[in-house]
Structure 1
Amino acid sequence: MGNTKLEISTQARILFNEKGYTNVSLREIAKAAGTTIGNLTYHFPQKEDLLLSIQDNLYTDFLTDLFEKKELLDGKDLLNIIINSFTKIKKNRNENEFFYRSIISLCTESPIIAKNVEDFQKRIFHFYFESFLKLKKSAILRNDIADEQYQTLAYIMVYMSYLWIQEATPYYDPSLPQIEVDTGFQHLIYPYLTKKGIEDYSAMVK
């Protein structure tokens, strides 16, 4: 039963990426998953339930990577978690493109999706901001920059993560360079690094 549910969710994500969330029916998903519409609706009564499952798995996986050992880490190890999170963000967008391309409309259509996004953004913001302050104390990030500026940096990163590949953003403008989200984050944080931080950072992004 567990494998069937996972297969349904996996095939739904593939179809949503190919056709867009609104253009895929539950019957199409059932066929792709090799199951019946009755079995699909047993696990996911509505298409929104599939979307919520994909969102929950996406967020849970990401937050686990961030918070599993965060309280025990500092300095270079904490910087490494942050750098790795940039790569994870890019991977998530590639694997769930439909969600991030249409996140504004999905939030408008589903108050539950919108609330989950809001809660996730708050946790990510506080993770980055608190981590920046710890790295500032450990001389990885610059001490001559005010805490408020690190707060703004964390805010911008959450904003970038939310909208990077949303429809009608500069990402799709052929007259502009196509910069990937992980590269954008790496370049954004670089000016805040100390000499020691740059040495550690350079070893991590090779």
Structure 2
Amino acid sequence: MDRKQEIIEQSVTLFNKKGFFNVSIKDISQTMGISPGNFTYYFKKKENLLAAIQEEVLDNAIEIMPENQYITLFHFEEMFKKFYLIQSKYRFFFLDILYLIEEYPVILEGYKKATLKRFEDARSLVSYFIASDRLVPEGNRVDYKVMIKALWMTSTFWSAGVTIIDQKNTSNRTEDSPLTSLWGILLPYLTDKGYQEYVEITKSSLSKTN
């Protein structure tokens, strides 16, 4: 691992423990046993370090709408499992995201654009599931824009919610994953065919844990 990547990984570990705004360049340098000058050779400011971390978060983003393949609801399960792993690795980013946006609006603009793109991709995935008879058609009582936003808000701010409820900070445990809540949002929209896929996914998950 090169020094720049080592700085990123050590910084993420410290930010996850103490929060982004509670860790200084000096703290990171001391933890790594390097001089502040060595740190600033790679990142002139914490702002530059944050930009590099955000780039990693976005590079690890999940492909919501894979091309040229048959997609089942297993994809939904795997997509949110992977997103939760990203949240766990860069936990501070999602805990502090509102403050980070306020403090560094230019940097976080990239995250906003990526999120809007995910909304578009999610809408395409919903349309695919409707066409393949996994989700009920959109109508007067079914608004998938609302559902997509509910899924996004639940997954993005899950770590913050767990931290508020559980003062022991056990958000890395499997049972604290938002997956059950995400399925709870999606279930009312499933057709009979979609529900049968969900049952199979549940059985598969249970067999893997036993």
TM-score (norm: length of structure 1): 0.83
Instruction: Give the whole-Å Cα distance in 2 for the aligned partners of 1:108 and 1:129.
Output: 28
- Pairwise CA RMSD of aligned residues? 2.4
Give the SS at the match of 1:66.
Answer: coil
Q: Shift in Å at residue 27 of structure 1?
A: 2.1
Matched residue type, 1:154: I
**Partner letter of residue 172 of structure 1?**
I
- AA matched with 2:46: K
User: Is 1:95 paired with 2:94?
Assistant: no
* CA distance in 2: counterparts of 1:10 and 1:117, whole angstroms: 20
Q: Which amino acid aligns with 2:66?
A: K
Indicate how the Cα distance of structure 1 residues 54 and 128 shifts in structure 2: closer, same or farther if over 3 A, else same: same
Q: Which segments of 5 or more consecutive residues in structure 2 lack a partner in the other structure? A: 167-174, 206-210
Task: State the 1:171 CA deviation.
Answer: 5.9
Query: For residue 51 of structure 1, what is the aligned residue in structure 2?
Result: 50
Provide Cα deviations, 1:143-187, integer angstroms capped at 9, x if missing partner. 3x4396122211222222333333xx476236xxx9642222121
Shift of 1:92: 2.0
Matched with 1:22 is 21
List runs of 5+ in structure 1 lacking aligned partners.
none
Partner residue in 1 for 2:165: 173
User: Corresponding residue for 1:106?
Assistant: 100
Residue 150 (structure 2) aligns with:
156
1:135 deviates by 0.8
Shift of 1:133: 0.6
Where does residue 146 of structure 1 map in the other structure?
139
Corresponding residue of 2:77 = 83
TM-score (norm 2): 0.81
Distance in 2, Cα, partners of 1:171 & 1:24:
19
Q: In the alignment, is the contact (CA less than 8 A) between 1:20 and 1:98 conserved in 2?
A: yes
Question: Which aligned pairs between 1:111-122 and structure 2 lie closer than 5 A?
Answer: 111-122=105-116
Matched residue of 1:53: which SS? Answer: helix
1:198 is aligned to 195
Q: In the superposition, relative to structure 1, how do residues 131 and 46 fare at CA in structure 2: closer, same or farther (>3 Å)? A: same
Which residue in the other structure is 1:132 paired with? 126
Structure 1 residues 123-154: Cα deviation after superposition (integer angstroms, max 9, x where no partner): 121121110111100112123x4396122211
Deviation, structure 1 residue 32: 2.5
CA distance in 1 between counterparts of 2:39 and 2:162 reads 38
For the residues of structure 2 that align with 1:33 and 1:190, how far apart are their CA atoms? 47
Structure 1 ranges of 4+ moved more than 4 A: none
Match of 1:71, SS? coil
The answer to whether the 8 A contact 1:89-1:181 is kept is no
Flag the 1:155–1:87 CA change in 2: closer, same or farther, 3 A.
same
Alignment-mate amino acid for residue 173 of structure 1: I
